[in-house]
Structure 1
Amino acid sequence: MIWILVIVFVVCLVLRFPIAFAMGLACFSYLLAKGIPLIVVPMKMYSGIDVFVLLSVPGFILAGNLMNQGGLTEKIIKFCNHLLGHIRGGLSLVNIGASMLFAGISGTAISDTASMGSILIPAMKKEGYDTAFSCAVTAASSTVGPIIPPSVPLIIAATLSGLSVGKLFLAGALPGLLLGLGLLLTAYFISRRKNYPKHERSSFGQVMRSFVDTFWSLLMTFIILYGIIGGIFTPTEASIIAVAYALVIGKFVYGRLNFKNIQVIFLDSMKTSASLMVLVGFANLFGFVLITEQIPQTISSEILGFTTNKYVVLLLINLLLIVVGTFMETIAALLILFPILLKVALAVDVDPIHFAIIAVLNLIIGLTTPPVGVCLFVASSIGKISIGAVSRAGLPFLLVSLTVLVLVTLFPWFSLVLPNLFMD
């Protein structure tokens, strides 16, 4: 019967159904064929979204949209330009640096690619940067967002595993910074080789004025992290505080929010949150079907039957997640695979916090992996260039990302030092 699930799911994906409906139709077909009462559908969907920490996701989505529409993206880019623009290829460094700062607001790779790319790709093309390079930098830099906290994928991983959101946020900080630094160095060396332009050095006063202008935006990230890690409030409460803060800053400090655009922002955030919750609900139903057919046990026994070496198991999991990440959005892939693969990792004594970071890092790298990485499609559509050209230009960045993945996989210290230091 499991082949009915697989065939319907694959056909729906080929027909470009949204991933949530592909899972839903596949599960519905399986239940009908198996003769299982359809009352299971609403029961399992509801139990999947009836998790307190998931309430934080709509809050963070709304806060990110409020800050983005409130002018945050432009101010972060301006600050990074004052800070890095005088270096050769400065605008490419600004692209990556802004993504590292913007990571604390958006938390998702695709939204980062779209928001940053719509501003920076045209600007880089105008200054003489190669279009393929401009798109490749934008797509690669967007992978930093879901690792540097606060991160929506890490919240989802915590929901699926019962792990501490605060510990996962701390665990993602060093790998995220390591990835960002690697991308910065790669962009710099490519820019020097191709002699890309640079701006005049900004004065110390200009840098400080730009920092002050951006300070209120960056303060939100500090408030969220300090509050969650310090035990002052839960992730759900933090998301509501972030929304209130974003409204005040966007309206009274930046002056970019008004009643009309706030209505649009709330509506867009509701649509995004609703689609995500439908995805979570159907994924829980999908998981019920997999458990019914004992798929997790089969996968676990097959992998562990092949080898019990921790590093070989992690290598196999990395390869699987990279491939899945190329054609499936991060959160959808997490919902389907993370609970299954976590059991395999635990069986070979991999720390669950460490494994969560490995899983998320794998899947976001997959978003920039040729030939069908989602972020590559977004960047190429903004730059109006073929995805093949963007893929070729992005290979050095992909190599750096994979190197960081290997380091994080082999050395748990990168993921565990901060959680152990601050939360044990």
Structure 2
Amino acid sequence: MISFLLFGLFLALLLTSVPIAISLGLAATGALLYSGKVSSSYIAQGLVTSIDSFPLMAVPFFILAGDLMGHGGLSKRLLNVGNVFFGRFTGGLAIIAVVTCMFFAAISGSGPATVAAVGTILLPAMVRDGYPKGFSIGLVASAGCMGIIIPPSIPMVIYATSSNVSISAMFLAGVIPGFLIGLALILVAYYKSKKSHYRGADKKYSAKEIMATVNDAKWALLVPLIILGGIYGGIFTPTEAAAVGVIYGFVVGVFVYKELKFKDLYRIIAGSALTSASVMIIVGTATIFGRVLAIERIPVLIAEFIVQLTSSPMLILMLINVLLLFVGMFMETLAAIIILTPILLPVVMAVGVDPVHFGIVMIVNLAIGLVTPPVGVNLFVGARVGGSTLEAVSKGSIPFLIAMLIVLMLVSYMPSLSLFLPKLMGM
């Protein structure tokens, strides 16, 4: 009865358009009060203790670092580098969009932030060069999914804290899957561009111009090296790396590129604070929801049920992939990770699946959810930035969605793609 109340109330609130964080909190509160197993103070204590975590401090720092670098001219210079190397190829701007999203993903750790930063600059240029709006926005929205797969990734931090695995191992595990998705998107973009005769720029850059462009962008290109190199070199933890990213973005934006103005800092910090607050509220209420699940032994019961159906790791991963793709269509990524990790992780571990590998499978699934209606956040951000309709953007993203699903299957059934780098580093 309590399980029915928990999920029933949660779904009812979602269907009435109550924000997901409030839905999670109210559903958990209703179930706890009905059960009478714990006092009402448990809810307030849980909201505080769930976010009282040193690793979780990385989340607001990465959000602020991404905002500072996006406004400080780093994304524009990454685009310039992409243009000198890929602009002359068929579908040059489409390829540049993917490559730039990959670089910015290694800065922001967020899918929607990647779409907004890259789309604001690149989408007008793509439309001006004859690319259809739906295709252009669909491509950028899909490429933005790499923001939560290529490290550093905010959802990876949340998964690591929920599953007690190493954040550094998760970051390393996301590198190869992230690059595979980028390569798949480039191949699809090239094929579609060649078929539709989207030509690249006629201009050929001299070696001197290429060197000048790369030199101008060196501070932006150094970001992934500093953050990830510092983590794996043992210089600082992922949380400290996020703080370093904030300082670096501020110094480069204000004093090097001089595009980040002091008068804009309040607006940028306030926007980052609002985003961080909404994330932390989701983390808090989703953690309470997860604790109610644990009290009622729901994860154990589900694990036992699935293992009774089949003991095949391949079939279990297939069922879980279908579930996660469905959940990703309706639920916010961080909430889905916090709720589903304690439910699904025991199931896959029972059949020998590595928790780091499963974390990447989960995040790739939920990344695809960012471009699947009705709650595809990247689609909404792309449509707003590009001035198009959700229907046109959704249609334009279909070929790229198929490519990402193919990569998902490879990542699911070839664990070495995720585990090679962590094992190489002895994690």
TM range (shorter): over 0.9
Aligned partners of 2:331 and 2:375 also within 8 Å: no
Establish whether residue 83 from structure 1 lines up as the match of residue 85 from structure 2.
yes
**CA distance, structure 2, for counterparts of residue 190 and residue 314 of structure 1:** 31
Give the TM-score of the pair, scaled to structure 2. 0.96
The aligned residue for residue 342 of structure 1 is 345
- Which one of the candidate residues 341, 364, 368 is aligned to 1:361? 364
Aligned to 1:119: 121
Distance 1:25 1:118 in 2: 37
CA contact (8 A) 2:411 2:418 kept: yes
Alignment match, 1:312 = 315
Separation in 2, partners of 1:242, 1:383: 28
Write the distance in 2 (CA, Å) between the matches of 1:298 and 1:378. 38
**Within-5 A mapping of 1:2-401:** 2-35=3-36, 36-199=38-201, 200-401=203-404
Q: Give SS of 1:145's match.
A: helix
Name the Cα RMSD after superposition. Answer: 1.5
User: What is the distance in 1 between the residues matched to 2:321 and 2:416?
Assistant: 18
Q: Summarize deviations over 1:202-243 as a string: whole Å, max 9, x none.
A: 222222211111111121221111111122211111111111
The secondary structure found in structure 2 opposite 1:257 is coil
Q: Is the 8 A contact 2:66 2:113 kept in 1?
A: no
Q: For 1:328 and 1:384, locate their aligned partners in 2 and report how far apart those are by CA, in whole Å.
A: 25
> Shift in Å at residue 258 of structure 1?
2.6
Deviation at 1:371, TM superposition (A): 4.9
| Amino acid across the alignment from 1:38 | S
The one-letter amino acid paired with 1:121 is L
Farther off after superposition, 26-35 or 218-227 = 26-35
Deviation, structure 1 residue 369: 2.4
Q: Deviations over 1:285-319 (max 9, x none)?
A: 10111112221012111211110100100011111
Q: Give the secondary-structure state (helix, strand or coil) at the position aligned to 1:350.
A: coil
Q: Which residue of 2 aligns with 1:410?
A: 413
1:61-95 per-position Cα deviation (integer Å, ceiling 9, x unaligned): 11111111111111111211111111111111111
Q: How far has the Cα of 1:172 moved from its partner?
A: 0.6
CA deviation vs aligned residue, 1:314-342 (integer Å, no higher than 9, x gap): 01111111111112221121111122211
2:263 & 2:381 partners in 1: Cα distance?
Answer: 28
Deviation at 1:417, TM superposition (A): 0.9
Give me the whole-angstrom Cα distance separating, in 2, the residues matched to 1:274 and 1:397: 32
Q: Judge which range, 116-125 or 57-66, deviates more.
A: 116-125
Q: Distance in 2 between matches of 1:372 and 1:159?
A: 25
Alpha-carbon deviations, 1:22-42, whole Å to 9, x = none?
111111222232334210111
Distance 1:278 1:351, change over 3 A: same
Q: Which runs of 5+ in 1 are unaligned?
A: none
Distance 1:306 1:280 in 2: 32
User: For 1:381 and 1:8, how far apart are their aligned partners in 2?
Assistant: 32
Write out per-residue CA displacement over residues 256-291 of structure 1, whole angstroms, 9 at most, x where no aligned residue: 123221122222111111211111111111011111
Cα deviation for residue 128 of structure 1 reads 1.0
* Contact 1:9 1:22 survives alignment (8 Å): yes
Secondary structure at the residue paired with 1:394? helix
One-letter code of the match for 1:162? Answer: N
> What is the letter of the counterpart of residue 10 of structure 1?
L
Q: Residue deviations 1:384-423, cap 9 Å, x none? A: 3333332232221111101111111111111111111123
| Structure 1 CA distance for aligned equivalents of residues 349 and 309 of structure 2 | 16
The answer to whether the Cα contact below 8 Å between 1:371 and 1:388 also exists between their aligned partners in 2 is: no
Judged with a 3 Å threshold, the aligned counterparts in structure 2 of structure 1 residues 115 and 12 are, in CA distance, closer, same or farther, namely farther
Percentage identity across paired residues of the two chains = 45
The runs of 5 or more residues in structure 2 that have no matched partner are: none
Look up the equivalent residue of 2:326 and give its one-letter code. V
Offset at 1:188? 0.4
Distance in structure 1 (CA, Å) of the matches to 2:218 and 2:270: 28
CA deviation vs aligned residue, 1:142-165 (integer Å, no higher than 9, x gap): 111211111111111111111111
